[in-house]
Amino acid sequence: MDIIKLQDNYEEVVAKAVATLKAGNIVIYPTETCYGVGVDATNQQAVDKVLAYKSKRADKALSVAVPHREMAEEYVELNNTAINLYNLYLPGPITVISRGKNKVANHVQAANGTLGIRIPDYKLVRDIAQSFGKPITATSANASYKKTPYKIDDILQNTSQKQQSLIGLIIDAGQLPKRKPSIVTDTTVEDLKVLRRSNFDFKNFSQLTLSCEKDTENFAKEIFDKINEYVGKNLIVFLLQGDLGTGKTFFTRTLSKHLNVEGAVSSPTFILCREHKLPQSEGRLYHIDTYRMFDAKEMDDLRCEQMFNPPNIVVIEWADKVRTHIQPFFHDAIVVDMHLKHIEGEKRELLYAMRNF
């Protein structure tokens, strides 16, 4: 059993994890929720090692981690409900159950033929799965019925020597924040079914097609009308996700006009954050672009504890990179989740949800 610090050379950590997986051995790795235990989900001998390590699973299935939706679709069938969840909430602390395609080892899929997929909001896990080229198991690294592991000692002090002998590599990222396990949702039933809840709260989400900038302007006005009663009172957070050129900054600029923000609102890509005074309250508009951030913890340099307070409004582009890290600051916030996807020409697909935390 080797232990490697995540603070060491990042590329070396990924390469060593991939080599361990290819050898059919177990990797203990950090995630945005807790430490997980991973093996090649298509290798029966490797999966058997995980089952022996976990022990007493009573025929429970194993969820798997993938780097993106494209890989997920190689192993499960995605219906419209699942696609909407992927577009709105992944990467993130959610396991989405879909109908499996029987391409994984025995005991990974459930007995009813379903398979749980995770796209973790943790770059290391996605990079390992991407480099490995196949899904890896994504169950928590504690033995069954033992404490949830947020540090390596939680694992080593609660497993036997026999269990530890099954581990090929431990990636030590130190003490992880104590967050609940991922929420588990079953999309194979007619109505979305939540099998395990977390801090994550689902609300109804809507879908629009934006054909031109005027459509985006109209949508910004519609959203402003919905949040206006909270302006100057509550913390309001906009989480914007979408590829380059899908209109994230244009939406922010249009919204700022309805908020009567003075001066030009431009992309903060190269300075990470721009701050604007809100004339109707004592609050500030913080416009953040995380595109150039390597680690979500870089948000701490922007003084999150001060920023995420009423009556401020925080707009974050590329929000999925930092979503899990900043969620603890969302107490009593109004959160607008927006995912923009380019269709063709000027057409954009917009999925959005507004909820109270």
pLDDT tens for 335-351 read 999 988 888 888 898 98
What distance in Å separates the CA atoms of residue 321 and residue 151, rounded to the nearest whole number?
22
Sign, CA torsion 260/263/266/268: negative
What distance in Å separates the CA atoms of residue 170 and residue 193, rounded to the nearest whole number?
34
- Give the number of other CB atoms < 10 A from CB of residue 228: 12
* pLDDT at residue 196, as a whole number: 46
* pLDDT at residue 265, as a whole number: 80
Out of 6-10, 117-121, 273-277, pick the least confident.
6-10
Q: Is 60 exceeded by the pLDDT of residue 172?
A: yes
What distance in Å separates the CA atoms of residue 37 and residue 128, rounded to the nearest whole number?
13
Cβ neighbours for 53, distance < 8 A, ≥ 6 positions apart: 26, 37, 143, 159, 163, 166, 167
* pLDDT at residue 18, as a whole number: 98
Q: Is 90 exceeded by the pLDDT of residue 50?
A: yes
Report cis status (omega within 30 of 0) of the bond before 311.
yes
In the chain, CATH 3.40.50.300 sits at: 205-356
Q: Is 70 exceeded by the pLDDT of residue 180?
A: no
How sure is the predictor about 197, in pLDDT bands with cuts at 50, 70 and 90?
very low
Structure tokens at 301: 């340099």
Q: In the chain, where do the E strands start and end?
A: 2-5, 26-30, 35-38, 64-65, 76-77, 94-100, 114-118, 136-137, 139-140, 167-172, 183-186, 193-196, 205-210, 236-242, 273-277, 284-289, 313-317, 334-344, 347-356
Q: Is 70 exceeded by the pLDDT of residue 269?
A: no
In the chain, CATH 3.90.870.10 sits at: 2-196
Pair 338, 239: CB distance under 8 Å? yes
The arithmetic mean of pLDDT across residues 31-47, rounded, is 95
- Give the number of other CB atoms < 10 A from CB of residue 126: 18
Name the CATH code of domain 2-196 (choices 3.90.230.10, 2.60.40.1730, 3.90.870.10, 3.40.630.30).
3.90.870.10
What's the CATH fold of domain 205-356? Rossmann fold (3.40.50)
- Give the number of other CB atoms < 10 A from CB of residue 217: 18
Task: Give the position of tokens 């003075």.
Answer: 262
How sure is the predictor about 177, in pLDDT bands with cuts at 50, 70 and 90?
confident
* pLDDT at residue 225, as a whole number: 93
* pLDDT at residue 56, as a whole number: 56
Q: Is 90 exceeded by the pLDDT of residue 244?
A: no
The arithmetic mean of pLDDT across residues 28-38, rounded, is 93
Q: Is 80 exceeded by the pLDDT of residue 194?
A: no
Q: Is 50 exceeded by the pLDDT of residue 212?
A: yes
Structure tokens at 307: 């920023």
Q: Is 70 exceeded by the pLDDT of residue 205?
A: no
Beta 313-317 vs 284-289: how paired, if at all? parallel
- Residue 58's region, left for phi above 0, alpha for psi from -120 to 50, else beta, is left
pTM score above 0.75: no
What distance in Å separates the CA atoms of residue 161 and residue 129, rounded to the nearest whole number?
28
How sure is the predictor about 57, in pLDDT bands with cuts at 50, 70 and 90?
low
